[in-house]
Chains A and B, each alone.
Chain A
């Protein structure tokens, strides 16, 4: 059907479409409704004829990392202001996570911009989110990631599975002693996870005495990551 709509080049009626495809009108209409729902087909206002939708062009265009950064800035700033913690945004880069955005901890202390830095997947909260949700990350691991225990070690595998269950990751002291981070996924079209957003700071500001995150931190980070995700749909 998509090939046909593309070949005709002008909006087509439901009747013409079902005739050309040799399908019943009801069947054709059902398929059209599904395709309209995901934006691959659109209906001309007025005539009600069908043509290819803008969603078809958007598909296959991978998310630009700098677009992601630009969309993250205001939300990441807000999160840093609210939590008093450093904020990082990372994307998968081979068997690592690349920091594409970084907001300093707003306490006036000297800090270095870490954009461009590569960090190991297994030792970071950003990495755990990508291991848990990204469809591409596991491919770059040295061992088949279907066997997570072999790929990243038993303890990390357990953390990654917990991340899959609760929707956010928490890593304390693995990359640097005394530093903890909590991360949540950033999603693009169809819910595909394309990156992760984390707050990073002294363990005492991120984790409570029982090893659980500080109250409201998981919700704040997840909400911020969702807000960034929803802005990815706009293309300015």
Chain B
């Protein structure tokens, strides 16, 4: 190992980025390209996996060039990817056979409802830790098998491969049709609904219940392990690990001990808490998932609260309502008023995720009076993310019996001080941001660096964590209680909006 730096590929919902880190975990280079979002029908959300791969090939040399680095300066590369997004491709041509169906897509609602009415639903929950929901990858794969002509037949002949985004990138980086490695990692596999969360292998019963041909499944590997060597992109550089983006952020925030938690504010918001070596089934709408697994060691688990719409609501406010020109300006607008003026926005755009899991909910704006201005709406947009965080934190407290004493945050929305202050106010605990807000990329880099010995152990990584900002609660308990009660009433109004004739 000669490289002085470690690279991370962060393949996210809206863009693909390459970040380069040094030994102290400091970012030294970044390059980014956005890809197109396709919404062909209401509730559908697709990406072009080929475009994502082309963007990956662009950002790698761009990141190196921006810091005057050579490929030989890179000791290893790690991958963090958007989770649950489903890609199916032809192993011979290397081309996707259908658009990638993303995690925001709701087309599998009917399929999942059917599954949940079947006794097999409890088997899923017991084996993979997830109650069937349209959020996960396997129902999307099943939908593609049912709807792409000839796909099921071609699966049987071994021509077809399935994977989430990290599988697609690893296969391409290691040679594609010319001997590419067909792998996934335990965290991404834990989001398919097909993996036994204890053995970390595909479970035959679950695979059969969804009638998925086993030939197309990738091999499941630990997060920290050398998977192979890049043939293109970063030729000669070992791929030292992969993660689903939220587990990558948990790792990047160095939440290695039981009870440590982080919340990442991006398109959605995801709060994960390390639960150590035990799987914590939730009675309160949280998911059991794998936090990380290192080569040759037993896995560490996490409980997760998934919020589908956080930053996406600000984007909607900017792009669809055209209330602001850039996302950060929402804070300027929101600061023109002291409070939300009685207005609440519940962004159940794709139903409600944690802790409600209501696929037939849709978004509402409630409490409108002549008094409400667009500044109040801006505040309601930001507050929605904080109220959803509070619901998830309550669910974790109810499950574990442990109250949070502080919350580590990261992601783009942590630049919004009004929001971070409001999160702290609602939770009644300090909220802290680390010096490198790019926890997702950092987590992927940490995995890759550990795999090749660039970093010796977890303790060294812990020493890289530094507090960059801290927000402390200032709200009175009475005000907090009133806001939380109003939010709950607003949530009630989103429920059961979709009825059968809408489907």
Contacts and interface: CB of A to CB of B under 8 A. Distances in A.
Interface of A: 61, 64-67, 69-71, 73-74, 77-78, 80-82, 102-104, 106-108, 111-113, 115, 235-236
Interface centre among B30, B327, B435, B438 (most CB of A within 10 A): B435
Contacts of B330: 66
Contact of A113 (B27, B437, B469): B469
Nearest to A57: B325
A66 B471 contact: no
Interface centre among A69, A73, A103, A115 (most CB of B within 10 A): A73
Contacts of A106: 435, 466-468
Interface centre among A65, A80, A106, A236 (most CB of B within 10 A): A106
A74 B416 CA distance: 14
A69 B468 contact: no
Nearest to A236: B326
B94 to A, nearest CB: 32
Nearest to A235: B326
B468 A80 contact: yes
B325 A113 contact: no
B326 A103 contact: no
15 contacts: A64-B332, A66-B416, A67-B329, A69-B417, A70-B327, A70-B415, A73-B437, A74-B27, A77-B437, A77-B468, A104-B468, A106-B468, A108-B467, A112-B470, A235-B326
B436 A81 contact: yes
B467 A113 contact: no
Contacts of A112: 470
B353 to A, nearest CB: 26
Given A64-B326, A81-B26, A104-B466, 6 more contacts: A74-B438, A77-B436, A77-B437, A77-B468, A106-B468, A113-B469
Interface centre among B438, B468, B471 (most CB of A within 10 A): B468
B200 to A, nearest CB: 35
Interface centre among B30, B327, B412, B415 (most CB of A within 10 A): B415
Nearest to A64: B329
Contacts, number: 76
Nearest to B416: A66
Given A73-B415, A111-B470, A113-B469, A66 B24 contact: no
B331 interface: yes
B415 A78 contact: no
Contacts of A80: 435, 468
Contacts of A74: 27, 30, 437-438
A149 B163 CA distance: 69
A116 to B, nearest CB: 8
Given A103-B468, A104-B467, A115-B417, A81 B327 contact: no
A74 B433 CA distance: 12
Interface in B413-461: 415-417, 435-438
A113 B326 contact: no
A112 B470 CA distance: 7
A77 B331 CA distance: 21
B328 interface: yes
Given A66-B329, A74-B438, A77-B437, A104 B469 contact: yes
Interface residues of B, number: 26
A200 B331 CA distance: 26
B470 A113 contact: yes
Contacts of B470: 104, 111-113
Contacts of B466: 81, 104, 106-108
Interface in B286-336: 325-332
A66 B435 contact: no
A16 B332 CA distance: 44
B27 A67 contact: no
Nearest to B432: A104
Contacts of A236: 326-327
B437 A65 contact: no
A235 B326 CA distance: 6
Contacts of B30: 74
A82 to B, nearest CB: 7
A77 B468 CA distance: 8
A229 to B, nearest CB: 16
Contacts of B329: 64, 66-67
A115 B335 CA distance: 14
B430 to A, nearest CB: 11
B325 A61 contact: yes
Top 8 nearest A-B pairs (CB, nearest first) are: A106-B466, A70-B328, A66-B331, A66-B328, A81-B26, A67-B328, A70-B415, A64-B329
